[in-house]
């Protein structure tokens, strides 16, 4: 499973960006298969597996809590996802148990969240990062298609 991590500090737009990635995949012909909200009704975090171009693409936004990230890595590996796109809070880089995720993290492609100074530039930054993730995903898909 290839991993693309969107890294950044808390409340900087990681979840919003991954909502845009999800929207792009679904409006481009992807089929949502396991959409689930994470947390209470006021939370925007979610997980899903989108079937897109004969690949299973997992998206997981609850990247602020180490245990959630650890479980997501295992869960989507067991579900045979081809790709995992996830949020990852920068504070987790210093987590004492991060060693247990050493192997998948070393293989992951990490993208630092682009920031904006006002609402309009933050929305633009989220769309920019979403399209960066889609481009990386498409590159991965081209490589795996030739294997």
The answer to whether 60 and 34 are in contact (CB under 8 A) is: no
Q: How confident is the model at residue 25, as a pLDDT?
A: 97
- Within 8 A by CB and 6+ apart from 19, the residues are 44, 46, 61
pLDDT reported for residue 140: 82
Phi, psi of 21 (to 5 degrees): -60, -45
Cβ-count burial of 65 within 10 angstroms (0-12 exposed, 13-18 middle, 19+ buried)?
Answer: middle
What pLDDT was estimated at residue 64? 84
List phi, psi (to 5°) of 52.
-140, 120
State pTM to two decimals. Answer: 0.89
Q: pLDDT at residue 144 above 80?
A: no
Asked if 132 contacts 106 with a C-beta cutoff of 8 angstroms, the reply is no
In the chain, where the domains are located: 2-146
pLDDT band at 69 (very low <50, low <70, confident <90, very high): confident
Find the helix packing angle between 119-146 and 14-27, rounded to 10°.
50
CA dist., res. 92 & res. 29, Å (int) = 34
Average pLDDT value for residue range 15-29:
96
pLDDT of residue 147: 53
* Alpha carbons within 13 A on the beta-carbon side of 67: 0
């Amino acid at each position: 499973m290839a991993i693309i991590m969107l890294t950044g500090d808390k409340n900087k737009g990681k979840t919003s960006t991954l909502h845009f990635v999800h929207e792009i995949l679904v409006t481009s012909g992807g089929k949502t298969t396991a959409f689930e909200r994470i947390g209470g009704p006021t939370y925007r975090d979610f997980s899903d597996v989108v079937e897109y171009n004969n690949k299973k693409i997992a998206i997981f936004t609850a990247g602020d809590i180490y245990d959630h990230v650890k479980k997501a890595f295992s869960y989507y590996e067991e579900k045979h996802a081809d790709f995992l796109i996830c949020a990852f809070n920068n504070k987790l880089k210093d987590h004492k148990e991060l060693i247990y995720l050493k192997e998948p993290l070393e293989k992951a492609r990490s993208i630092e969240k682009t920031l904006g100074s006002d609402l309009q530039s933050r929305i633009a930054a989220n769309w920019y990062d979403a399209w960066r993730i889609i481009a990386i995903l498409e590159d991965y898909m081209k490589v795996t298609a030739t294997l």
